Amino acid sequence: MIIWSKKRDTQVYASGQHICMSAHKARKVIDQIRGRSYEETLMILELMPYRACYPIFKLVYSAAANASHNKGFKKGDLIISKAEVNEGTTVKKLKPRARGRGYPIKRTTCHITIALKNISLA
């Protein structure tokens, strides 16, 4: 017999993997939106001047679309319950430099996970 908890049924996730950005820069934006409502989050992300805002905006929008389509939640009742950034793989290249030397280039990536919770059910 499987018992589903209410907490699991009220959360909806969206995740983006291998986003070409350092995890430190993405965390700077994620810390600003954690715990806020859906509409407030979209306004904050549109007005912040960081490059990390656009992929996070797309993930929040996608999580809200998942909530309204799959679970039937209203977008006005959603808050960001969990937002986390993890480091992804690092692509290592060599850039040719003077006198036959090679200069290492590291392209860092990150994985972003957004969870929205319906506060009307809680």
The tokens describing 100, both together, are 């036959």
- Give per-residue pLDDT as tens, 65-81: 999 999 999 999 999 99
- Give per-residue pLDDT as tens, 8-33: 567 899 999 999 999 999 999 999 99
Q: Give the position of tokens 């209203």.
A: 74
* Separation of alpha carbons 82 and 114, rounded Å: 6
Level-2 CATH architecture, domain 12-85+111-118: Alpha-Beta Complex (3.90)
* pTM for this entry: 0.85
H or E element at residue 12: strand 11-19
The tokens describing 112, both together, are 């972003």
Q: Give the position of tokens 């977008």.
A: 75
Pick from 109, 104, 103: which is nearest to 89 by CA?
A: 109
pLDDT higher than 60, residue 121: yes
